[in-house]
Structure 1
Amino acid sequence: MSNILRIATFNVHKGLSTFNARFSLHDQRELLRKLHADIVFLQEVQDEHAKHSKRFSPFPLNGQLEFLADAVWPNYSYGKNSVYPAGHHGNAVLSKFPIINTENRDISAHSVEQRGMLHCEISIPGWDQTLHCICVHLGLFARWRTKQLQEVKRFIEDHVPADSPLIIAGDFNDWSLNAGRSFAESLHLREVFEHSHGKPAQSFPSWLPILRLDRIYTRGFSIRHVEVHTGPTWLKVSDHAVLTATLAHQTA
């Protein structure tokens, strides 16, 4: 098995386009398929919503997660972040390789914002160690993000061996860049775009990105290629751009 991995992270905005103008889940699925990613980190997957299932047609009967994974990613995991009377949404990980362990943790810093981190342990053929993947969606306020990253840090220190390959990706909402840098330094992580281009990627709004909200952090990999998938057509897809990275696992 090759030690090369292609990964993607994408806030699907509950399957809706920018400004909630249209139901774009089908376009999102086609876009993700064209990326040929081995592992996909997703945020704001709305796996159930009673009103949207009636309003938008065709809304997938088995939920957004299964629809997005379809036959391309046979292994997937979902963690509810926010639960409400009509349904729920949260983070998800899609994988072409077996997910052998998964855990979802509530890292909400305030009752008005439900946030979570989804941890998946993935077995990749030919690798001596399992791959640890953590998908996150952090809060809108700096003090909340700082608290949430501290919780993620403690989880990694307690549950992820220091020599195991690790990828953390998602919507960090950290436009100031301060919390992310401190987090990365404390865990000896590299943000793939910062390593390649000097700064994290501009990913929001997707059609003309200014804010650097989405991130991919790694440990135990060399970074081969990174890309932001964005442009005017994204108005019809999501308010976030997709980030992709090609990584090479560094074996001992």
Structure 2
Amino acid sequence: MRLRIASYNIHAGIGSDGQFDPARIATVIDELNADVIALQEVEHHLIEEGDFLDYLAARTGYQAVSGPTLMRETRHYGNAVLTRLPVIASQRRDISFAGHEPRAVLEVELAVASKIITVMATHLGLWPSERRSQVRQIVNLLQQSHSDYIWLMGDLNEWLIWGRPLNWLKHFFRYSHHIATFPSFFPLLSLDRLWVMPQQSLLSVRAHRSKISRQASDHLPLVGEVIIET
């Protein structure tokens, strides 16, 4: 079974032109036509009398799983997963670093035929020491997983290809890719990542470049084609 997966930092619905336009994000999600999408920077504020994530799910036909990291009085903020596949369970894993913005891994278990897939959606911190701590925790979670497939997706905020966090993940997944996704209007940095285990199940990885994806957010979506043996 061939599936498409994607990671997309939607920048709270604010485009490269500085305008808040949730409909553009929904359009890009439609363009991706992915089976599972990991979202970052999801602002949980009201749109058309509903939550932003619920709005995106309703507009695009996905089931939404929320994983906020910042709990505010007015609105929450964080990660989310959109999926067309059946959800078995989900949990939020705190990987925060003291004194910095709270961060987490949203872990969602999905079922495909007789296989279990664990999706790990995350958005790492801005400081090197913070990311090193967070990737150590993620590697520990990866090592404990007994799922048939693991998909780690998100904005890792790591632009140094020789940095220790990327090397640790490369050691676990046995490969790496460096595809520029930021800034969306002229991509130079490979901040967004998509890692798959077993590695041979990943067929390809690419940035999704379209006229509207260059405007809808400050990141381009990252898209992977995977194969599941059923």
Gaps of 5+ in 1: 54-58, 195-199
Aligned to 2:173: 188
Change (3 A) 1:234 1:121: closer
Q: Identity rate of aligned residues, in percent?
A: 27
Q: CA RMSD in A?
A: 1.9
Contact 2:6 2:221 in 1 (8 A): yes
Q: Which amino acid in the other structure matches residue 123 of structure 2?
A: H
Who is 2:12 aligned against?
14
What residue number does 1:172 align with? 156
How far apart are the structure 2 equivalents of 1:33 and 1:218?
Answer: 23
Deviation of 1:233 (Å): 5.0
Instruction: Compute the TM-score of the two structures, normalised by the length of structure 1.
Output: 0.83
- Name the CA shift for 1:242/1:73 in 2 (closer, same or farther; >3 Å): same
Which structure ranks higher in relative contact order (CA pairs < 8 Å, sequence separation ≥ 6)?
A: 2
Paired letter, 1:156:
L
Structure 2, unaligned runs of 5 or more: none
Secondary structure of 2:6 counterpart:
strand
1:86 maps onto 2:74 in alignment: yes
Cα distance in 2 for residues equivalent to 1:102 and 1:109: 22
Say if 2:28 is the partner of 1:31: yes
CA contact (8 A) 1:189 1:219 kept: no
Partner of 1:63: 51
How many residue pairs align between the two structures?
227
1:222 paired residue number? 201
Tell me the alpha carbon deviations over residues 43-63 of structure 1, each in whole angstroms, 9 at most, x when there is no partner. Answer: 011113xxxx5xxxxx24221
Find the counterpart in structure 2 of residue 154 from structure 1. Answer: 140
Match of 2:123 among 109, 114, 137: 137
Q: Against the structure 1 CA distance between its residues 99 and 114, is the aligned structure 2 distance closer, same or farther, given a 3 Å change threshold?
A: same
Are the structure 2 counterparts of residues 96 and 233 from structure 1 closer, same or farther at C-alpha, using a change threshold of 3 Å? Answer: closer
Pair 1:226–1:188, CA change in 2 (3 A): closer
Distance in 1, Cα, partners of 2:61 & 2:152: 19
Counterparts of 1:183 and 1:223 in 2: how far apart (Å)? 15
* Closer/same/farther in 2, CA of residues 66 and 129 from structure 1, 3 Å limit: same
Per-residue deviation at 1:85?
A: 3.1
1:250 and 1:174, CA in 2 relative to 1: closer, same or farther beyond 3 A? farther
Measure the CA separation in 2 of the matches of 1:213 and 1:66: 26
Q: Look up the equivalent residue of 1:214 and give its one-letter code.
A: D
